[in-house]
Chain A
Amino acid sequence: MNASNSFKSSVVVALDDIQLQTALDRGTTRAVNGRISAMGETSAAPELRAQARAARLRALNQLPELLDTLERNVTANGGAVLWARTGAEANDTILQICREHGVRRVTKGKSMVTEESGLNHVLEAHDIEINESDLGEYIIQLAHEPPSHIVFPMLHKTKEATAELLHEKLGMPMTDKPEDMTRFVRGVMRRKYIEADLGISGVNFAIAETGTIITVENEGNNRLSCSTPKIHIAVMGLEKVLATWHDWTTLAQLLPRSATGQRMTVYTNLMSGPKREHEPDGPEKFYLLILDNGRSDMLAGEFAESLACIRCGACLNVCPVYQNIGGHAYGWVYPGPIGSIVSPLLQGIQKAPSLPYASSLCGACQAACPVDIAIPDMLLKLRRDLVKVHDPASASLPWRIGMRAWRIGMRSPLLYRIGGKLAAVGTRLLARNGKITRLPGILGGWTKSRDFPAFPAESFRERLAQKKKRVESQSRESE
């Protein structure tokens, strides 16, 4: 099965999954309302967005210098900076650190880049126990599922399904209360933090001028993963760096508002290297792993702006496509509108040829984006690139004949009018109540997952001509 068919079949499955549809409906509605109210309460929202966008783009303008400064300052703080060109290289590096320090048990705070690299499988294959520590990430790890949202990893799961899973895997007494489930998992996770030799976290922002990494979270799992074990490895995509603390205060206002509708998350954690000599606790070793994995290629092209993304997930929540198919159908780490750009670019466009089409181009994503990324525009450009990759000569014969006929018809006003008339008559013959549920022959593919509307009896051009006539005769009368 090729990548394009696999997307289509995932969508068909997703649309028929009642549990998924219920969970998506409940989840995305709450997220969208939360963001709108949090952004609405500041009268400075447009200016804040403009500043945030500038802060991110300015960082991209000077990426090599900033990473260099970041490295120098992390080192001055007593930490070590490691670099990885690919996900596999990142996994090897982490494995190497595990071997060096005899690490057996790892807790991990939420990190999308380690989803990119598939770190969990690699560590498990080497008999190292790794536990996701974010509540949602832990639950889907139990279910052997990937996250379906970059902020709310288990958005696809209802509370009923969650209770059943915890009951089955860990013997939790059945309940329908999220409070009880949360308290139960808290108890399970406690020992894991205490016993872990190594904590791994992601990075929301890295500030070059002091060599500090920042994580934002609500649960405290990330703070625990970065504080209780003797070693802390923070893994970041190389685009996460910011130049100054001024830039951070701007983005610190926007990320929680856009992601969860909060003014501040419960914890915003600034970490500058390992624990200092007389500090009572904190990790003794601190590593910052900077991952490229396709990003430097993106900086070179016309999609560089997508590197400004701060992974808030707002574009997922507002997207009518995401709202209906959920995250898993997208097939890779980053779903939703931004994922439809980032996934083809990071993996290679042949691996995700359907994603640039998984959008109605309605523009809700860009309107919601805190850094105003031109997502619809980039999706169109990706479609253009896909046409170049897929040689038109290799398309099927009916497709080629159809496109040829279309081209001839569109060039001649007469043929265009005749074609329109024929379609109007034809579609109205096939339609019931203005809708065609099954088109004939090779056109049937269109109606597999949606109806086709009948053409109206009068075309737009005909109505326009009549209206013109009416207006002219009226103005003659009034003269």
Chain B
Amino acid sequence: MTAARTEILSKLRRALAAGTPFPQAETVDTSRPVVPINPDENLLARFCSEVERVRGIIHLADSTDAALAALRSVLHSNDVTRTMCWDAPHLPFDGVTNLLATQGIEIIAGTNEVVETAQAGITGCDWAIAATGTLVLSSGPGRSRMASLLPPIHVALMRSSQLIPRLEDWVASRYADRLQQIRTSSNITFITGSSRTSDIEMQPVFGVHGPLQIHIVILKDV
């Protein structure tokens, strides 16, 4: 194994010993975002239309109560009795665990065999990217990565203040913080719509191995 490592690296070093194969590449600045976005654009409106384009379902709420009501209605209309759910401190507003308890909806955790029976996964998110309708979810204590993946329905909860314009802004603003976050979480997932495939004759089909439906409940706070 170390023999393979040594041999590969020394072959690469030998290959480059004659000089830099592509010196011209060193002069291009890649830290500058280039995909344009209209600075006056309403981020919330853009986010919602992008999500709907990729078959996500948006629920806008003006108050915490309205947001909880939207969550309850999603769970009820899908006959959900068992959920995977992020711990309360990682959700964007209070009252979710209380709501589940009063509605008799179970929160389950444990082995794959157990969590596989969950009918919905409830998560928060770190950021939401307006230009592409993308949610950013990092893993951590109380933040299951399976909750947004295994159940047939994913309900993501967020506040409108979590919106950022573009993917590049996630990295470019506060670079050092970002690196720290990437090192701390074993997994950061960018989710854009519900799972899909185009494998059969390149015809889009929604709902493959991941969730069949994604609901995003947005509490307007700006």
A residues near B, CB below 8 A?
Answer: 23, 26-27, 30-31, 42-44, 47-48, 50-51, 53-58, 60-64, 67-68, 73, 76-77, 82-85, 89, 93, 133-136, 139, 152-155, 157-159, 162, 178-179, 181-183, 186, 189-190, 193-194, 209-212, 218-221, 223-224, 226-228, 238, 244-250, 252-253, 260, 262-276, 278-282, 286, 290, 292, 296-297, 299-300, 304-305
Q: Which residues of B contact A250 (CB under 8 A)?
A: 30, 34
Is B145 engaged at the interface, CB distance under 8 Å to the other chain? yes
- Bound CA span A262–B24, Å: 30
Q: Which residues of A contact B5 (CB under 8 A)?
A: 83
The size of the chain B interface, using a CB distance under 8 A, is 84
The proximity string for B residues 115-128 relative to A, scoring 1 for CB distances below 8 Å and 0 otherwise, is 11000000000000
Are A154 and B200 interface neighbours, CB within 8 A? yes
- Bound CA span A278–B183, Å: 15
Which residue of chain A has the shortest Cβ distance to B53 in the bound complex? A263
Tell whether A282 pairs with B145 under 8 Å between CB atoms, given A63-B16, A246-B31, A273-B186.
yes
Q: Which residues of B (132-162) have their CB < 8 Å from a CB of A? A: 132, 134, 139-146, 149-150
Stretch at the interface among B63-71, B72-80, B164-172: B164-172
From B16, B30, B208, contact of A218 by CB (8 A): B208
Is B199 engaged at the interface, CB distance under 8 Å to the other chain? yes
**Top-3 shortest CB links A-B:** A220-B210, A54-B28, A136-B199
Tell whether A85 pairs with B1 under 8 Å between CB atoms, given A182-B207, A220-B210.
no
From A30, A135, A286, A300, contact of B15 by CB (8 A): A300
B residues near A, CB below 8 A?
Answer: 1, 4-5, 7-9, 11-16, 20-36, 54, 109, 112-113, 115-116, 131-132, 134, 139-146, 149-150, 167-168, 170-172, 175, 178-179, 182-203, 205, 207-211
From B25, B109, B190, contact of A268 by CB (8 A): B190
Return 18 A-B CB contacts under 8 Å, by A number: A27-B202, A42-B35, A54-B26, A57-B25, A58-B26, A162-B200, A219-B196, A220-B149, A250-B30, A262-B192, A263-B192, A270-B187, A275-B186, A276-B141, A279-B139, A280-B141, A292-B4, A292-B11
Q: Which residues of A contact B178 (CB under 8 A)?
A: 245
Q: Which residues of B contact A279 (CB under 8 A)?
A: 139-141, 143, 145, 185-186
From A54, A219, A245, contact of B210 by CB (8 A): A219
Are B199 and A64 interface neighbours, CB within 8 A? no
From B24, B183, B188, B189, contact of A77 by CB (8 A): B183
Tell whether A133 pairs with B192 under 8 Å between CB atoms, given A249-B167, A272-B182, A296-B8.
no
From A210, A260, A267, contact of B189 by CB (8 A): A267
